[in-house]
Amino acid sequence: MKPLLIIGLGNPLMGDDGVGVRVSQLLAADSEIAVAADVIEAGTDLLSSLDRIEGRRRVILVDAVESLSDPGRISVIEGPLLEERAAYVHSLSAAQAVELMRKVMPGLQDTRFTWVLVHVPSARVSQEMSPEVAAAVPLAAAVVKGLL
């Protein structure tokens, strides 16, 4: 197991929401990345990847974040991703899943979590991404590569 794990998040059937998965697919095909990190797609269920996260020194999560301005902009956030709580408990966001994992798994306290977020205008049912977000996929992959 490599000390670094890159996780692509999102649903490719929801247009721009699938950007994290698309970035992870691009990174998984990069031989330089394969030497340094494991790359997986977690889709919309980060908790199902807990066994792949445990024992890592660093986890880079690539995901979409809804933003009304600057579609395709990329943000990097080290540490916890703060967001509003969901109004119901049967669905956790990726940020809430990381928070829950850190609370129930003491071994994750020393794991460094980095978020690479691609700003998207909205998530809608579509297999196509908006042009701005599609253009951001290789840029986000380069940002992740730079974090190594």
Percent of the chain with pLDDT over 70: 93
Instruction: Kindly tell me if the per-residue pLDDT of 84 is higher than 60.
Output: no
Q: Which range has the top average pLDDT, 43-52, 57-66, 81-90?
A: 57-66
100 pLDDT band, cuts 50/70/90, is confident
Rounded-to-5 percentages of helix, strand, coil across the chain: 40, 25, 35
Query: What is the rounded average pLDDT for all residues in the chain?
Result: 89
b/e string for 72-89 if b means 16 or more Cβ within 10 A? bbbeeeeeebeeeeeeee
Q: What's the one-letter identity of residue 108?
A: L
Instruction: Kindly tell me if the per-residue pLDDT of 90 is higher than 60.
Output: no
Q: Name all domains of the chain by residue range, CATH numbers in brackets.
A: 4-147 (3.40.50.1450)
Using a cut of 0.75, tell me whether the model's pTM lies above it. Answer: yes
